[in-house]
Structure 1
Amino acid sequence: MVAQMAFTVADPTAPGGKRLTFGGGAGNITEMLSTIMNFTYTYVRSPDKTWGLLQSDGTWTGMMGLITREEVEFTPGPFYMDITRSQWVDFSPFVFVGNYLILAARGRPEVDPWGFLLPLRPTVWVAVLTALWAVCVVMLILSFCVPSYMQEPGMADTNTFNCVRILFQEDMKRTKSRWWWERVMLGVWMLMMVVLTQSYVGNLMSLLAVRYIDEPYQRLEDVLDNSDIGIIVAPNTIIIKYLETATSGPLHELGKLIGTKRVAYSRFGELQNSMETFVRAATHVIFDLDINFFNLLPKSFSLTGRCDFYLSRSVYATSPMAMVTQKNSPFLPRINKLTYTLVESGLYDKWMKYSEPNFGTCKNPPRIITVNTILSLTSLWGMFASLGFGFTLAVVVLAMELVCGGARWGQKSQVAT
């Protein structure tokens, strides 16, 4: 028998003092079948330590080769179900659905310099400006309803600009004439602005403690567009055939890179080292089955105590995963019955979750974290940039007013002369 996640343990009774064994869900299935059917078994590892791919001469490599050459009875796998493979071997009912994902290194926690815009959504900003416009219009209309002999010069303009001053937390310009409806409108507007500004200030202080972790490669297209990033794939697997035969889409674009420097091969036993070196250095990403990543990520977390890697949200080449036997194997009926029982009862899922310590800890790490630190210019430069832009715009408007006002004064003086 063969297993894709085999490892050796010390055993004085075995040749060389070491014995090949297998843990997790597949290992438990093998042990359960051994007990039910009363047989002994031995794990066998394929020479190239791969799942196997059909060669041009009609032979298979890896574990598929061991099965098709009848050197082993079955493999708990699980194997990616494919129509080409089904012509050479028999599949059990699927134990779960596998997806190809991208594994990449997470960025360092960064401050969003434009975070001061985040406490209010764009719709809230639009609602505030719309409310300001509505209040100014109502104040203007009501000002025109006052008899002309009771109006102070510039009364309408004063009421309108008072609303704007309240929004920007400025003082109000007093007028001699003050009607009750003016006090009501300004009081309601002031109350709204107090609630809004205090909520904004509270959320803004909280956001200054937030750090954002960059996860740029969520799609295969994101990786392909960056020519400086290498892609690590497993050799002699079914995905290689899909990449070479794809006619369109991101898989086709990745397939065209096979044979170039951007695509590197790494067997399953080497993926952990590749992840801790090339992927951690942000020079490569790994494109492989999620079941492999569910074993790599817990080991990395157990060593470092951190989630330094992430999985892409986009998935590719989704397919059921199942165990494999020789064609017309007498083991198949028993395996089928046991598979249905384990999957429907949820026991296989439980075995998968407890196969590795910290399983699932880093499957969806948070992209936003909070820290306690001293504020710095790197955290606030967006605010200063906005303030500088506002001052610059005000100086430009003042200069235009002086120029236009000087020209008009000159014209009036010339007419008077």
Structure 2
Amino acid sequence: MLTVAAEFMPHHTLEWIDDPLAMDGRRLHFTGAMAKIIEYLSLGVNFTYRYVLSSDRTFGTKFHDGSWTGMMGMVVREEVHFAAGPFMLSPERAAAGDYTVAVWNGDVRIVSGLGGLKIDPWSFLLPLTPFVLAGGLTTLLGVTVVMQVLSSCLPGKALCFSPVRVLLQQEAAVHDENYCLPHGADVEWPGQWWWWERLVLGLWMLTTLVLTKSYAGNLMSLLAVRYVPQPFQTPRDVLDDPHITMIWQKYSKNEHFLRTAESGVFREVAELEEKGRLKFLTQAQFPESLDTLVRAGHHVLIDIENAIRSLVALDFSSKVNTDTMLRPDNEAERFSSDNQVMSLTESGLLKYWAQDVPNFTRCNNVPKTVAFSTTLSFSNLWGVFVLLAGGLTAGLVVWCLELLTRLTKKSY
């Protein structure tokens, strides 16, 4: 009969049940992926077992005085034969006990509340990417230069700004025998324009028509789209937001890493504890924290990928309301039968058991944009009016400068 240390994880259950054969009349009932792994090992290596909990309900980390907490502490003090984990690899843990072969490689992820759908009033600028702007302006400059260079050899030709006026959809002035219009009109008839000038300007008008119609066709849909804000992609993003508090797992490998980091972004994360922006909670406290602190939008939760995805899946299953998305570190079991663990990994059973959670992949790809069939309001369009007001203001400033320049010349 071996004693096995276990701990709560999002996709596991821990409960005491009555058992007349147990020493105190009850025993700890443990279910989930880790329980299946322990059962698999017990059949392969031939042993019976019972589960126990650590006093502080954590995975365990090493203090400065050399003592250990959590399940790792129970292993180091030989209070249990082994611990179920899963444990992330670290030099301190490797020096204190024996790992099995590594069974999982992954990342650490950030989970935060969605905060509702937002309207981007500047969405009408999205099609105007730097590449599109550079290509359009380059073509405009090329057409203008070609027409100016080729027309410079002809007598009586004024500067031609027709390509610019075509792009801005301004009406061109026409000068002929029946109309008396200002000198310097773009289109003069008859015979003032050569055939190649008409061809170049016609091609440019066709190009401008295609661009403007394509943009106008997408404009209404762009203004009706609402987006899902996802501001926290890295720890730096969280650090830069003074209103957000981080939650990490208590007495874990990640906490030890933060407390021992001497420089870099994780040193800055550790310093947040003095400012009240860093908390350490146990795995058993994560579900409630996700439902209250994280969902409210002023906290983010950072942990290994499988734990995060399981938390989100369980939350979605209970509320049918996905409020999150996110990235795991190396994990390994604490037992001596490497062949059994390797067979679990190679057969895919371990991954299957770890991901055997309802809606485990349901929230993997939350849509970043959502389209609504609603009437346009000022919240959708105020960016357009700001741009219009800016253009009119710039035009007014240029007009005032022209008047000032003219008055200055007359004074001389």
Tell me the distance in 2 between the aligned counterparts of 1:3 and 1:10: 13
1:360 and 2:361 are equivalent in the alignment: yes
Q: Which moved more, 1:251-260 or 1:162-171?
A: 251-260
Query: Which runs of no fewer than 5 residues in structure 1 stay unpaired?
Result: 326-331, 412-417
Query: Counterparts of 1:190-201 in structure 2 under 5 Å?
Result: 190-201=205-216
In structure 2, relative to structure 1, the CA distance for the partners of 1:388 and 1:347 (3 Å cut) is: same
Question: Aligned-pair distance for 1:205?
Answer: 2.3
Amino acid corresponding to residue 3 of structure 1 in structure 2: A
Normalised by the length of structure 2, the TM-score is: 0.86
Query: Quick one: percent identity of the two aligned structures?
Result: 39
Structure 1 CA distance for aligned equivalents of residues 26 and 194 of structure 2: 96
Alpha carbons of structure 1 residues 94 and 261: separation in structure 2 relative to 1, 3 Å: same
* Equivalent of 1:7 in 3, 13, 24: 13
* Runs of 4 or more consecutive aligned structure 1 residues displaced over 6 Å after TM superposition: 14-18
Q: Name whichever of 86-95 and 165-174 sits farther off.
A: 165-174
Partner residue, 2:217: 202
Q: Is residue 119–residue 204 contact of structure 1 (8 Å, CA) maintained in 2?
A: no
Partner of 1:166: 166
Secondary structure of the structure 1 residue equivalent to 2:49: coil
Question: Could you tell me how far 1:259 is from its partner in structure 2?
Answer: 5.5
2:152 is paired with a residue whose SS is helix
Query: Taking structure 1 as reference, are residues 156 and 130 closer, same or farther at Cα in structure 2, changes over 3 Å only?
Result: farther
Paired residue secondary structure (2:71): helix
Residue 5 of structure 2 aligns to a residue in which SS?
Answer: coil
Residue of structure 2 in register with 1:329 after alignment: none
> Helix, strand or coil for the counterpart of 1:178?
coil
The worse-fitting range, judged by mean Cα deviation, of 10-19 and 345-354 is 10-19
AA partner of residue 400 (structure 1): L
Alignment CA distance shift 1:54-1:143 (3 Å): closer
Counterpart-to-counterpart distance in 2, 1:361 and 1:288: 19
Describe the shift of the 1:282–1:123 C-alpha distance in structure 2 as closer, same or farther (beyond 3 A). Answer: same
Q: Indicate yes or no: 2:112 matched with 1:97.
A: no
Alignment correspondent of 1:217: 232
**Conserved in 2, the CA contact under 8 Å of 1:232 and 1:266?**
yes
- Partner of 1:274, secondary structure, is helix
Normalised TM-score (structure 1): 0.85
Q: Identify the match of residue 114 of structure 1 among 122, 135, 160.
A: 122
Which residue number corresponds to residue 400 of structure 1?
Answer: 401
More helix by share: 1
Q: The residue matched to 1:373 in structure 2 has which SS?
A: coil
Partner of 1:129: 137
CA contact (8 A) 1:214 1:367 kept: yes
Alignment partner, residue 80 of structure 1? 88
> Does the 8 Å CA contact 1:162/1:173 hold for their aligned counterparts?
no
Pairs within 5 Å for 1:148-297? 148=155, 151=156, 155-157=157-159, 160-174=160-174, 175-176=188-189, 177-258=192-273, 261-297=276-312
Task: Rate the CA distance shift 1:37–1:162 in 2: closer, same or farther, 3 A.
Answer: same
- 1:345 maps to a residue whose letter is S
SS in 1 for 2:279: strand
Q: CA deviation at 1:410?
A: 6.0
Unmatched segments (≥5 aa) in structure 2: 175-187
In structure 1, distance between residues paired with 2:139 and 2:304: 53
Partner of 2:78: 70
With 255-264 and 163-172 compared, the bigger mean Cα shift is at: 255-264
RMSD: 2.5
Corresponding residue SS for 2:29: strand
2:376 is the alignment partner of 1:375: yes
Distance 1:392 1:65 in 2: 70
Check the 8 A contact 2:306/2:354 in 1, yes or no.
no
| Pick aligned residue for 2:47 from 39, 51, 54 | 39
Aligned residue for 1:362, secondary structure, equals coil
Query: 2:346 is matched with which residue?
Result: 344
Shift of 1:125: 0.9
